[in-house]
Structure 1
Amino acid sequence: MIAPPSTTETLPEILQNISDTVSPLDKMLLERKEECWLMLNKTFVATSVSTTAPGLFCPGTFDGWSCWPETPAGSSAHAPCPEFITGFDPNRMAHKECLENGTWFRHPSSGQVWSNYTTCVNIDDLNWRQQVNRIYETGYSVSLVALLMSLGILFYFKSLRCARTTLHMNLFASFAINNALWLLWYRIVVNQPEVIVENGEGCKVLHVILHYFLLTNYAWMLCEGFYLHTLLVAAFISESRLVKWLYGLGWAMPLAPTIIYTSLRASNHDANDTKECWINESPYTIVLIVPVCASMVLNLIFLCNILRVLLLKLRAGPRVGSSRPSSTLLQALRATLLLVPLLGLHYLVTPFRPSENHPWEGIYEVTSAITASFQGLCVATLFCFCNGEVVAQIKRRWQHLMFRPRANSCTATTVSVRQIVRSNGGNGILMDEDNV
């Protein structure tokens, strides 16, 4: 029988010699290694003082993740899958083969002693998660293209510039940046397990910036509702001054909850909150959900009051000197009414998230993926592609490009001949335009 590895240092002494730069994962692995050594030493002492059973045994060992006890030749040892590895199911078991000659199985490719952790991954669940991620990536890509097209249209047609379209452009920009960051997150973090395990500062910074722009989406939707409300209820306010206030509301207001969320999560000593690029849900996510829900509630209050004022104006008509709301204002109101519940659907269903392995978990994940990733497309469609003014401008521009006079047209030829005749003092031979 081969004795397990031993050490003259205790766990406190080992940890005392570790630099502060060592990650929590490395410290946790050192603790597991120390526990494994203690267990194997106890087992070795117990078997040494008792009658040793005949036969070959593979020695107890620690492979860097799990502790494997002394195992008889020709059999397998089993250990729970490590819960700290992303994608592993801790309810499953890994195994390690002890060969007939009393040595651990070596991988044929590397020649190194190998533990089989392939059973720790639920392949069906992994494929399902990858399909959901593809829905997210597809939705964010389509939304990003639609938003960039909308921004291009509003930039191109200067005649569309006004306070309302300025708000639309900021809303489009917020959604476009957020969608681009989500695509970056899926490409360089979610699809790169080594980045998640390394848990560097870069991916955490990306996480924070991404959620800041997520909050700006809802802040600018609140700006849209507040602008419509102010336009109808306080009609005499300066629009330029109102837009300046809304710039602060849309871009500056989300900074406060983002800073609070980042500070709380970074200062938390719970490993689940600080590991794996903060990819897992945290109890502090409520700090981000509250302002989103608050903006939705405020928008609904604004829109209900807008509808009340509109009904009063439409009923009163011109008899009391009140101006009837314009068609563009009504169109913007309809778009906002449709978007408010649609954009908040993802957060409205968050408290009702099914538990893991629940029959409705798949439906919830797909619904969340569709509603979250295609929000930008909905914003661009309702505020730009279906906007009557935008459609009219595009039609005019198209007609101008398709039907403008060309140099070799009949009209141009007639004008040119007429100019030639006039330049000859009317003495030319082509005086009649019908002969041209």
Structure 2
Amino acid sequence: MMDKTGDIMAVICLLLLKLPKGETASGKVLEETYRQWVRYKEDCSKMIENEPLPQADLAGLFCNRTFDKYACWPDAPAGSVVNISCPFYLPWYDKVSQGVVRRRCGSDGVWEREDSGQVWRDMTQCEEEKEVTSQELWVKQLMVSFRMLYTVGYSLSLFTLITALIILLSFRKLHCFRNFIHANLFLSFILRAVSVIVKDTMLERHWGREIIKQTDVTEILSHQAAIGCRIAQVMMQYCVLANHYWFFGEAHYLYSVLIASVLMDNNKYLPYICLGWGIPLLFVVPWVVMKLLKENKECWAVNENMSYWWIIRFPILFASLINFLIFMKVLKVILSKLRASNQAEYPDYKLRLAKATLTLIPLFGIHEVIFIFATDEQTSGFLRYAKVFITLFLNSFQGFLVGVLYCYINKEVQTELRRKLRSWRMEAEIVCCGQ
């Protein structure tokens, strides 16, 4: 009886050697190929058990029928070369279906082996002939550039937002309801950036590891190994939703103070917390349940049934659409007031808040509305690459823009920073004079 771990090892090593890196990284081809390999092995086992014994032409020395973990071999007379069709489990079988794999039966009735002791076989006709075209090379370089783009964007956003959050929390005079919403928005952006980076790292760690020993194979294919990247995937989806709904809170706050003229008090904190951190749970939890019950495969990164994906996508599009409508409403009111030169009703901080939010809302939501029906599964060619570029660019650099507009160019923050800087200088001068 063959060792099951050794069987898995053989097929996985074969895939890692022959498949393009992008395909093995997804895991989808890997799991499907393993399933087909098990079926091929079972068919071979039936043949070995049920085929009649050799006839008179094999009455002398002959090599026994066997499954060498790559192909299924019949009994063969000593000194002969056996040709069989390429195994059907190969991912590229359609391209090599007419090819054969060869093996030699030695004159002593034993299948030939290499000097290293490994099984000898000629499977050149069963290998995938993959010509890298200029277009494929361009696409590969483009994907690498996209990854560098959003890595730089998220890293820059993280540094900007963490510094901005420290500033808002450090100065007592900046502690107000408006900055409370800003601080939570900063935190949601920070968590989103961290979750995206962790998710990418976990996916690469799960599918991109090298096969060194047999236990690595069973670990890759086990559900236990996927737990880490599944948790990272869930956290990323939650943080993305929280990020959208805290920006929805920003838009609602702007509408309240600028148009509805509603004064905020301490009793309003809880509704905004429920909106920003609570509502995402109402969608992430059902999505997790459906993934567990219906699509519990790999790292939950592939959406085979798009109806489950809409559990996450719908609330994002809803928040983006509402943000866009608020943007149009506020813009209309601001323009009408400016034309009438009646700015007395709008204090300076309200106008600054309006300018910052009106700058961010289009960047944050319009691309979601534009691509509402242009999903990854429905787009191809230039439109797909344009959508990926716009989405990655805006999503990764949004945190940087938010930090700059809501903190670094905010007059209240600048005033507090200058005041604190003057205070430090005076303390330094006193210390120097005292010495």
Q: Distance in 2 between matches of 1:256 and 1:305?
A: 28
Match of 1:264? 290
Does structure 2 conserve the Cα–Cα contact (< 8 Å) formed by 1:147 and 1:172? Answer: yes
Shift of 1:337: 2.0
Shift of 1:179: 1.2
Match of 1:254? 280
Match of 2:5? none
Shift of 1:56: 8.8
Residues 425-436 of structure 1: pairs in structure 2 closer than 5 A: none
Q: Kindly tell me: are residues 390 and 46 of structure 1, through their superposed partners in 2, closer, same or farther at Cα, counting changes over 3 Å?
A: farther
Match of 2:38? 33
Which amino acid letter does the alignment assign opposite residue 404 of structure 2? T
Shift of 1:155: 1.5
Q: Distance in 2 between matches of 1:395 and 1:34?
A: 72
Q: TM-score, normalised by structure 1?
A: 0.69
SS state at 2:429 partner: coil
Shift of 1:293: 0.9
Does structure 2 conserve the Cα–Cα contact (< 8 Å) formed by 1:196 and 1:276? Answer: no
Larger Rg: 1
- Does 1:78 pair with 2:86? yes
Shift of 1:171: 0.4
Match of 1:61? 67
Q: Kindly tell me: are residues 135 and 141 of structure 1, through their superposed partners in 2, closer, same or farther at Cα, counting changes over 3 Å?
A: same
Match of 2:323? 299
Match of 2:212? none
- Does 1:378 pair with 2:401? yes
Shift of 1:407: 4.7
Q: Distance in 1 between matches of 2:53 and 2:259?
A: 86
Match of 1:185? 199
Which amino acid letter does the alignment assign opposite residue 348 of structure 2? S
Q: Distance in 1 between matches of 2:64 and 2:41?
A: 16
Q: Distance in 2 between matches of 1:290 and 1:386?
A: 34
Residues 170-209 of structure 1: pairs in structure 2 closer than 5 A: 170-193=184-207, 197-200=221-224, 201-209=227-235
Provide Cα deviations, 1:222-241, integer angstroms capped at 9, x if missing partner: 00000011112332443323
Single out whichever of 296-305 and 162-171 deviates more from structure 2: 296-305
Residues 394-433 of structure 1: pairs in structure 2 closer than 5 A: 394-402=417-425, 406-407=429-430
Q: Distance in 1 between matches of 2:331 and 2:34?
A: 61
Residues 355-374 of structure 1: pairs in structure 2 closer than 5 A: 358=381, 361-374=384-397
Q: Kindly tell me: are residues 356 and 399 of structure 1, through their superposed partners in 2, closer, same or farther at Cα, counting changes over 3 Å?
A: same
Q: CA RMSD in A?
A: 4.5
SS state at 2:284 partner: helix
Q: Kindly tell me: are residues 41 and 197 of structure 1, through their superposed partners in 2, closer, same or farther at Cα, counting changes over 3 Å?
A: closer
Provide Cα deviations, 1:253-305, integer angstroms capped at 9, x if missing partner: 1111111211222211xxxx321110213411111111111111111222222
Aligned residue pairs, count? 374
Does structure 1 conserve the Cα–Cα contact (< 8 Å) formed by 2:189 and 2:399? Answer: yes
Does structure 1 conserve the Cα–Cα contact (< 8 Å) formed by 2:165 and 2:186? Answer: yes
SS state at 1:206 partner: helix
Which amino acid letter does the alignment assign opposite residue 385 of structure 1? Y
Q: Kindly tell me: are residues 292 and 398 of structure 1, through their superposed partners in 2, closer, same or farther at Cα, counting changes over 3 Å?
A: same
Which of the numbers 361, 366, 373 marks the counterpart of 1:351? Answer: 373
Which amino acid letter does the alignment assign opposite residue 353 of structure 2? A
Structure 1: 5+ residue runs without aligned partners? Answer: 6-24, 84-88, 417-436
Match of 1:221? 247
Match of 2:8? none
Q: TM-score, normalised by structure 2?
A: 0.69
Structure 2: 5+ residue runs without aligned partners? Answer: 3-29, 210-218
Residues 308-319 of structure 1: pairs in structure 2 closer than 5 A: 308-314=332-338
Does structure 1 conserve the Cα–Cα contact (< 8 Å) formed by 2:321 and 2:369? Answer: no
Q: Kindly tell me: are residues 32 and 395 of structure 1, through their superposed partners in 2, closer, same or farther at Cα, counting changes over 3 Å?
A: same
Match of 1:431? none
Q: Which has the higher contact order (CA 8 A, sep 6+)?
A: 2
Task: Report percent identity of matched pairs.
Answer: 20
Match of 1:20? none
Q: Kindly tell me: are residues 263 and 317 of structure 1, through their superposed partners in 2, closer, same or farther at Cα, counting changes over 3 Å?
A: same
SS state at 1:376 partner: helix
